[in-house]
Amino acid sequence: MSQIQFTRNEQPKAKPDANHLGFGKYFTDHMLVMDYTEDQGWHDLQIVPYGPISLDPSAMVFHYGQEVFEGMKAYKTADGRISLFRPDMNLKRLNASCERISIPQVDPEALMEGIVELVSVDREWIPEGDDTSLYLRPFIIATEPCLGVRAAKEYKLMVILSPVGSYYPEGIHPVSIYVEDEYVRAVRGGTGMAKTSGNYASGIKAQEIAKLEGFSQVLWLDGVEKKYIEEVGSMNVFFKIGGEVITPELSGSILAGVTRDSAIALLRSWGLPVTERKLSVAELFQAARDGKLEEAFGTGTAAVISPIGTMKWGDEQISIAGGDTGEWSRKLYEAITGIQKGLLDDPFGWRQIIL
Protein backbone atom coordinates (compact mmCIF):
# COMPACT_ATOMS: atom_id res chain seq x y z
CA MET A 1 0.00 0.00 0.00
CA SER A 2 0.95 3.59 -0.64
CA GLN A 3 1.11 6.47 1.83
CA ILE A 4 -2.60 6.20 2.54
CA GLN A 5 -3.23 5.27 6.13
CA PHE A 6 -5.36 2.16 6.44
CA THR A 7 -7.39 0.88 9.37
CA ARG A 8 -8.91 -2.49 8.65
CA ASN A 9 -12.51 -3.20 9.61
CA GLU A 10 -12.26 -6.11 12.03
CA GLN A 11 -15.98 -6.74 11.88
CA PRO A 12 -16.78 -7.18 8.20
CA LYS A 13 -20.46 -7.39 7.31
CA ALA A 14 -22.27 -10.18 5.52
CA LYS A 15 -22.64 -9.35 1.84
CA PRO A 16 -26.16 -8.77 0.51
CA ASP A 17 -27.98 -11.07 -1.91
CA ALA A 18 -26.67 -10.07 -5.35
CA ASN A 19 -30.13 -10.55 -6.84
CA HIS A 20 -31.79 -7.98 -4.61
CA LEU A 21 -29.31 -5.18 -4.32
CA GLY A 22 -31.49 -2.26 -5.32
CA PHE A 23 -29.64 1.06 -5.49
CA GLY A 24 -27.58 2.63 -2.71
CA LYS A 25 -28.97 0.56 0.13
CA TYR A 26 -25.89 -1.50 1.11
CA PHE A 27 -22.43 -0.21 1.86
CA THR A 28 -19.08 -1.96 1.99
CA ASP A 29 -16.72 -2.43 4.94
CA HIS A 30 -14.50 0.59 4.37
CA MET A 31 -14.60 4.18 3.27
CA LEU A 32 -12.12 6.84 2.18
CA VAL A 33 -11.93 10.05 4.19
CA MET A 34 -9.87 13.21 3.84
CA ASP A 35 -10.08 16.47 5.76
CA TYR A 36 -9.56 20.09 4.83
CA THR A 37 -8.55 22.94 7.09
CA GLU A 38 -7.34 26.39 6.13
CA ASP A 39 -3.92 25.71 7.67
CA GLN A 40 -3.29 22.29 6.22
CA GLY A 41 -5.36 22.23 3.06
CA TRP A 42 -6.57 18.76 2.10
CA HIS A 43 -4.76 16.28 4.32
CA ASP A 44 -4.89 12.95 6.09
CA LEU A 45 -6.27 10.73 3.32
CA GLN A 46 -7.28 7.53 5.08
CA ILE A 47 -9.15 4.31 4.54
CA VAL A 48 -11.15 3.48 7.66
CA PRO A 49 -13.99 1.12 8.59
CA TYR A 50 -17.33 2.22 7.12
CA GLY A 51 -19.34 3.81 9.86
CA PRO A 52 -21.13 6.86 11.19
CA ILE A 53 -19.45 10.24 11.19
CA SER A 54 -19.78 12.68 14.02
CA LEU A 55 -20.51 16.32 13.26
CA ASP A 56 -21.37 19.36 15.29
CA PRO A 57 -25.05 20.30 14.79
CA SER A 58 -23.83 23.69 13.54
CA ALA A 59 -21.70 22.07 10.80
CA MET A 60 -22.34 24.32 7.83
CA VAL A 61 -23.52 21.52 5.51
CA PHE A 62 -26.64 21.21 7.68
CA HIS A 63 -27.53 24.86 7.15
CA TYR A 64 -26.13 26.30 3.95
CA GLY A 65 -25.72 23.22 1.77
CA GLN A 66 -22.09 23.50 0.71
CA GLU A 67 -21.85 20.00 -0.72
CA VAL A 68 -20.74 18.40 -3.97
CA PHE A 69 -20.74 14.79 -5.05
CA GLU A 70 -19.95 12.35 -7.83
CA GLY A 71 -21.19 8.97 -8.98
CA MET A 72 -19.02 6.32 -10.65
CA LYS A 73 -19.09 2.54 -10.99
CA ALA A 74 -16.50 -0.21 -10.65
CA TYR A 75 -16.97 -3.48 -12.56
CA LYS A 76 -15.43 -6.91 -12.54
CA THR A 77 -14.38 -7.51 -16.12
CA ALA A 78 -14.75 -10.78 -18.01
CA ASP A 79 -11.07 -11.57 -17.42
CA GLY A 80 -11.24 -11.00 -13.68
CA ARG A 81 -9.84 -7.49 -13.55
CA ILE A 82 -11.52 -4.44 -12.04
CA SER A 83 -12.33 -1.42 -14.15
CA LEU A 84 -13.71 2.06 -13.79
CA PHE A 85 -15.41 3.98 -16.59
CA ARG A 86 -13.81 7.33 -17.48
CA PRO A 87 -13.04 8.26 -13.86
CA ASP A 88 -10.96 11.22 -15.03
CA MET A 89 -14.18 12.91 -16.17
CA ASN A 90 -15.80 12.44 -12.78
CA LEU A 91 -12.82 13.86 -10.90
CA LYS A 92 -12.67 16.82 -13.27
CA ARG A 93 -16.38 17.45 -12.77
CA LEU A 94 -15.99 17.12 -9.00
CA ASN A 95 -13.55 20.03 -9.09
CA ALA A 96 -15.84 22.00 -11.41
CA SER A 97 -18.64 21.51 -8.89
CA CYS A 98 -16.27 22.57 -6.08
CA GLU A 99 -15.47 25.74 -7.99
CA ARG A 100 -19.16 26.68 -8.29
CA ILE A 101 -19.96 25.92 -4.63
CA SER A 102 -16.78 27.59 -3.28
CA ILE A 103 -15.30 24.36 -1.94
CA PRO A 104 -11.50 23.95 -2.15
CA GLN A 105 -10.57 21.74 -5.08
CA VAL A 106 -8.98 18.33 -4.62
CA ASP A 107 -5.83 16.87 -6.20
CA PRO A 108 -7.39 14.43 -8.66
CA GLU A 109 -4.33 12.14 -8.69
CA ALA A 110 -4.25 11.73 -4.92
CA LEU A 111 -7.99 11.13 -4.84
CA MET A 112 -7.76 8.62 -7.69
CA GLU A 113 -5.03 6.77 -5.82
CA GLY A 114 -7.23 6.65 -2.73
CA ILE A 115 -10.20 5.40 -4.73
CA VAL A 116 -8.15 2.60 -6.28
CA GLU A 117 -6.91 1.53 -2.84
CA LEU A 118 -10.41 1.62 -1.43
CA VAL A 119 -11.86 -0.46 -4.24
CA SER A 120 -8.95 -2.87 -3.83
CA VAL A 121 -9.63 -3.28 -0.10
CA ASP A 122 -13.33 -3.94 -0.71
CA ARG A 123 -12.97 -5.79 -4.04
CA GLU A 124 -14.91 -8.78 -2.75
CA TRP A 125 -17.96 -6.52 -2.63
CA ILE A 126 -18.10 -5.99 -6.40
CA PRO A 127 -21.13 -7.99 -7.52
CA GLU A 128 -20.88 -10.07 -10.67
CA GLY A 129 -24.47 -10.52 -11.82
CA ASP A 130 -26.03 -8.89 -14.88
CA ASP A 131 -26.79 -5.20 -14.42
CA THR A 132 -24.80 -5.10 -11.17
CA SER A 133 -21.75 -3.05 -10.24
CA LEU A 134 -20.07 -1.35 -7.33
CA TYR A 135 -21.30 2.23 -7.16
CA LEU A 136 -18.74 4.77 -5.90
CA ARG A 137 -20.00 7.91 -4.23
CA PRO A 138 -17.33 10.56 -3.58
CA PHE A 139 -18.72 13.61 -1.76
CA ILE A 140 -17.51 16.67 0.10
CA ILE A 141 -19.35 18.42 2.94
CA ALA A 142 -18.68 21.67 4.82
CA THR A 143 -18.00 20.70 8.43
CA GLU A 144 -17.03 23.99 10.08
CA PRO A 145 -19.28 24.64 13.10
CA CYS A 146 -20.57 28.16 12.39
CA LEU A 147 -23.86 29.78 11.39
CA GLY A 148 -22.44 32.71 9.40
CA VAL A 149 -23.45 32.59 5.73
CA ARG A 150 -20.14 32.26 3.89
CA ALA A 151 -17.80 29.58 2.53
CA ALA A 152 -16.73 27.20 5.28
CA LYS A 153 -13.13 26.86 6.37
CA GLU A 154 -13.31 23.12 7.13
CA TYR A 155 -14.49 20.26 4.91
CA LYS A 156 -14.59 16.49 4.83
CA LEU A 157 -14.29 14.40 1.68
CA MET A 158 -15.57 10.85 1.77
CA VAL A 159 -15.89 8.04 -0.72
CA ILE A 160 -18.39 5.32 0.09
CA LEU A 161 -19.08 2.19 -1.96
CA SER A 162 -22.38 0.46 -2.59
CA PRO A 163 -22.98 -2.78 -4.48
CA VAL A 164 -25.94 -2.01 -6.75
CA GLY A 165 -28.34 -3.66 -9.15
CA SER A 166 -30.39 -1.76 -11.69
CA TYR A 167 -31.36 1.75 -10.67
CA TYR A 168 -34.90 0.92 -11.70
CA PRO A 169 -36.19 -2.33 -10.15
CA GLU A 170 -37.44 -3.40 -13.59
CA GLY A 171 -34.00 -3.12 -15.25
CA ILE A 172 -33.75 -1.57 -18.73
CA HIS A 173 -37.39 -0.92 -19.34
CA PRO A 174 -39.23 2.06 -20.79
CA VAL A 175 -40.27 4.68 -18.24
CA SER A 176 -43.16 7.12 -18.34
CA ILE A 177 -42.33 10.80 -18.13
CA TYR A 178 -44.31 13.83 -17.06
CA VAL A 179 -43.33 17.23 -18.49
CA GLU A 180 -43.05 19.49 -15.47
CA ASP A 181 -44.14 23.05 -16.14
CA GLU A 182 -44.53 24.48 -12.66
CA TYR A 183 -41.44 23.47 -10.69
CA VAL A 184 -37.96 24.20 -11.96
CA ARG A 185 -34.75 22.25 -11.28
CA ALA A 186 -32.20 24.89 -12.21
CA VAL A 187 -31.66 28.13 -14.09
CA ARG A 188 -28.67 29.61 -15.89
CA GLY A 189 -26.62 31.50 -13.33
CA GLY A 190 -27.68 28.94 -10.72
CA THR A 191 -26.06 25.63 -9.82
CA GLY A 192 -27.53 23.29 -12.46
CA MET A 193 -24.18 22.45 -14.01
CA ALA A 194 -22.74 21.42 -10.64
CA LYS A 195 -23.39 18.09 -8.96
CA THR A 196 -24.59 19.57 -5.68
CA SER A 197 -27.31 18.60 -3.25
CA GLY A 198 -29.54 21.65 -3.69
CA ASN A 199 -30.35 20.69 -7.30
CA TYR A 200 -31.74 17.39 -6.11
CA ALA A 201 -33.67 18.77 -3.13
CA SER A 202 -35.45 21.18 -5.45
CA GLY A 203 -36.56 18.32 -7.71
CA ILE A 204 -38.11 15.96 -5.17
CA LYS A 205 -41.46 17.72 -4.95
CA ALA A 206 -42.14 17.53 -8.70
CA GLN A 207 -40.99 13.92 -8.74
CA GLU A 208 -43.51 13.06 -6.01
CA ILE A 209 -46.34 14.72 -7.91
CA ALA A 210 -45.36 12.84 -11.07
CA LYS A 211 -45.39 9.56 -9.13
CA LEU A 212 -48.86 10.30 -7.78
CA GLU A 213 -50.02 10.81 -11.35
CA GLY A 214 -48.53 7.47 -12.33
CA PHE A 215 -45.29 8.61 -13.98
CA SER A 216 -41.75 7.44 -13.18
CA GLN A 217 -39.88 10.67 -13.71
CA VAL A 218 -40.15 14.33 -14.56
CA LEU A 219 -38.90 16.11 -17.67
CA TRP A 220 -37.38 19.43 -16.63
CA LEU A 221 -37.79 22.56 -18.70
CA ASP A 222 -35.47 25.56 -18.60
CA GLY A 223 -36.00 27.98 -15.72
CA VAL A 224 -36.17 31.10 -17.86
CA GLU A 225 -38.77 30.40 -20.54
CA LYS A 226 -40.08 27.01 -19.38
CA LYS A 227 -39.97 25.99 -23.03
CA TYR A 228 -36.73 24.13 -23.60
CA ILE A 229 -35.98 20.60 -22.48
CA GLU A 230 -33.14 20.30 -19.97
CA GLU A 231 -32.98 16.96 -18.14
CA VAL A 232 -35.16 14.02 -17.23
CA GLY A 233 -35.22 13.06 -13.53
CA SER A 234 -31.54 13.21 -12.66
CA MET A 235 -30.39 12.20 -16.14
CA ASN A 236 -29.48 13.87 -19.41
CA VAL A 237 -31.93 13.22 -22.21
CA PHE A 238 -31.75 12.32 -25.93
CA PHE A 239 -34.36 12.21 -28.69
CA LYS A 240 -34.12 10.63 -32.13
CA ILE A 241 -36.20 12.68 -34.52
CA GLY A 242 -36.31 11.92 -38.25
CA GLY A 243 -33.03 10.03 -38.14
CA GLU A 244 -31.15 12.70 -36.19
CA VAL A 245 -30.34 12.46 -32.49
CA ILE A 246 -30.86 15.67 -30.53
CA THR A 247 -29.77 16.35 -26.95
CA PRO A 248 -30.00 19.67 -25.09
CA GLU A 249 -26.80 21.70 -25.32
CA LEU A 250 -24.81 22.33 -22.13
CA SER A 251 -26.34 25.71 -21.44
CA GLY A 252 -25.02 26.19 -17.91
CA SER A 253 -28.03 24.74 -16.12
CA ILE A 254 -27.52 21.16 -17.37
CA LEU A 255 -25.12 18.63 -15.87
CA ALA A 256 -22.32 17.57 -18.22
CA GLY A 257 -22.97 13.85 -17.91
CA VAL A 258 -20.24 11.29 -18.48
CA THR A 259 -22.78 8.87 -19.96
CA ARG A 260 -24.16 11.74 -22.07
CA ASP A 261 -20.71 12.40 -23.52
CA SER A 262 -20.19 8.67 -24.12
CA ALA A 263 -23.56 8.26 -25.82
CA ILE A 264 -22.82 11.15 -28.19
CA ALA A 265 -19.45 9.63 -29.16
CA LEU A 266 -20.88 6.14 -29.68
CA LEU A 267 -23.86 7.30 -31.73
CA ARG A 268 -21.59 9.36 -33.96
CA SER A 269 -19.19 6.43 -34.35
CA TRP A 270 -22.15 4.43 -35.59
CA GLY A 271 -22.88 7.04 -38.24
CA LEU A 272 -25.85 8.72 -36.58
CA PRO A 273 -25.88 12.52 -36.65
CA VAL A 274 -26.01 13.95 -33.12
CA THR A 275 -26.84 17.59 -32.54
CA GLU A 276 -26.49 19.42 -29.24
CA ARG A 277 -28.95 22.28 -29.34
CA LYS A 278 -31.96 23.84 -27.68
CA LEU A 279 -35.03 21.68 -28.15
CA SER A 280 -38.42 22.97 -27.08
CA VAL A 281 -41.06 20.64 -25.73
CA ALA A 282 -43.43 22.07 -28.37
CA GLU A 283 -41.05 21.02 -31.16
CA LEU A 284 -40.72 17.58 -29.59
CA PHE A 285 -44.47 17.02 -29.36
CA GLN A 286 -44.96 18.30 -32.91
CA ALA A 287 -42.38 15.76 -34.09
CA ALA A 288 -44.32 13.07 -32.23
CA ARG A 289 -47.58 14.18 -33.89
CA ASP A 290 -45.81 14.11 -37.27
CA GLY A 291 -44.64 10.56 -36.63
CA LYS A 292 -40.98 11.64 -36.59
CA LEU A 293 -40.13 11.02 -32.93
CA GLU A 294 -38.48 7.62 -33.17
CA GLU A 295 -36.84 7.19 -29.79
CA ALA A 296 -36.14 8.90 -26.48
CA PHE A 297 -33.91 7.95 -23.58
CA GLY A 298 -32.18 9.29 -20.49
CA THR A 299 -28.49 8.77 -19.72
CA GLY A 300 -26.75 8.66 -16.36
CA THR A 301 -24.24 6.67 -14.35
CA ALA A 302 -26.88 5.11 -12.11
CA ALA A 303 -29.28 3.82 -14.81
CA VAL A 304 -26.83 3.99 -17.77
CA ILE A 305 -29.60 4.22 -20.42
CA SER A 306 -33.24 4.65 -19.48
CA PRO A 307 -35.61 4.39 -22.46
CA ILE A 308 -38.66 6.64 -22.42
CA GLY A 309 -41.87 4.87 -23.42
CA THR A 310 -44.49 7.55 -22.86
CA MET A 311 -44.49 11.24 -22.17
CA LYS A 312 -47.24 13.57 -21.00
CA TRP A 313 -47.32 17.34 -21.47
CA GLY A 314 -50.46 19.11 -20.30
CA ASP A 315 -53.35 17.05 -21.64
CA GLU A 316 -51.38 15.39 -24.40
CA GLN A 317 -49.75 12.01 -23.97
CA ILE A 318 -47.47 10.44 -26.54
CA SER A 319 -46.09 6.97 -26.93
CA ILE A 320 -42.51 6.61 -28.14
CA ALA A 321 -41.07 3.62 -30.03
CA GLY A 322 -44.39 1.88 -29.47
CA GLY A 323 -43.87 2.23 -25.71
CA ASP A 324 -40.98 -0.20 -26.01
CA THR A 325 -37.20 0.02 -25.61
CA GLY A 326 -35.96 1.55 -28.85
CA GLU A 327 -33.25 0.05 -31.03
CA TRP A 328 -30.60 2.66 -30.27
CA SER A 329 -31.40 2.78 -26.57
CA ARG A 330 -30.73 -0.93 -26.34
CA LYS A 331 -27.64 -0.69 -28.54
CA LEU A 332 -26.20 2.07 -26.39
CA TYR A 333 -26.98 0.22 -23.17
CA GLU A 334 -25.28 -2.91 -24.45
CA ALA A 335 -22.30 -1.00 -25.84
CA ILE A 336 -21.66 1.03 -22.70
CA THR A 337 -22.18 -1.79 -20.21
CA GLY A 338 -20.20 -4.11 -22.53
CA ILE A 339 -17.24 -1.71 -22.54
CA GLN A 340 -17.57 -1.24 -18.78
CA LYS A 341 -17.49 -4.98 -18.12
CA GLY A 342 -14.76 -5.78 -20.67
CA LEU A 343 -17.11 -7.78 -22.88
CA LEU A 344 -16.61 -5.47 -25.86
CA ASP A 345 -13.72 -3.62 -27.46
CA ASP A 346 -13.05 -0.20 -26.04
CA PRO A 347 -12.26 1.96 -29.09
CA PHE A 348 -12.24 5.23 -27.15
CA GLY A 349 -10.07 4.05 -24.26
CA TRP A 350 -12.81 4.64 -21.68
CA ARG A 351 -12.27 1.54 -19.61
CA GLN A 352 -9.66 2.11 -16.97
CA ILE A 353 -8.33 -1.13 -15.53
CA ILE A 354 -7.39 -0.29 -11.96
CA LEU A 355 -6.64 -3.69 -10.46
Which chain residues interact with its own copies by CB under 8 A? 22-25, 27, 31, 50, 52-58, 61-67, 69, 100-102, 135, 137, 139, 141, 145-151, 158, 160, 162, 182-191, 196-205, 207-208, 223-224, 226, 233-234
CA gap 279, 101 in Å, rounded: 28
Decide whether 30 or 240 has the Cβ nearer to its own copies. Answer: 30
DSSP string, 200-258: HHHHHHHHHHHHHTT-SEEEEEPTTTS-BEEEETTBEEEEEETTEEEE----SSS---H
DSSP 8-state code for residue 172: S
Q: How far is the CB of 63 from its own copies (least distance, A)?
A: 6
Q: How far is the CB of 43 from its own copies (least distance, A)?
A: 19
Q: How far is the CB of 335 from its own copies (least distance, A)?
A: 25
Half-sphere exposure of 173 toward its Cβ, with a 13 Å CA cutoff? Answer: 8
Decide whether 191 or 325 has the Cβ nearer to its own copies. Answer: 191
CA gap 74, 354 in Å, rounded: 9
Q: How far is the CB of 58 from its own copies (least distance, A)?
A: 6
- Other C-beta atoms closer than 10 Å to the C-beta of 89 total 18
Q: How far is the CB of 12 from its own copies (least distance, A)?
A: 17
Residues 6 or more apart whose Cβ sits within 8 Å of residue 74: 82, 83, 84, 119, 126, 133, 134, 136, 161, 354
Q: How far is the CB of 60 from its own copies (least distance, A)?
A: 9
Decide whether 145 or 347 has the Cβ nearer to its own copies. Answer: 145
CA gap 306, 170 in Å, rounded: 11
Decide whether 231 or 294 has the Cβ nearer to its own copies. Answer: 231
CA gap 244, 270 in Å, rounded: 12
Decide whether 28 or 350 has the Cβ nearer to its own copies. Answer: 28
Decide whether 14 or 149 has the Cβ nearer to its own copies. Answer: 149
Q: How far is the CB of 241 from its own copies (least distance, A)?
A: 27
Rounded to the nearest 10 degrees, the angle between the axes of helix 258-269 and helix 87-101 is 140
| Alpha-carbon 40 to chain mean position | 31
Decide whether 117 or 180 has the Cβ nearer to its own copies. Answer: 180
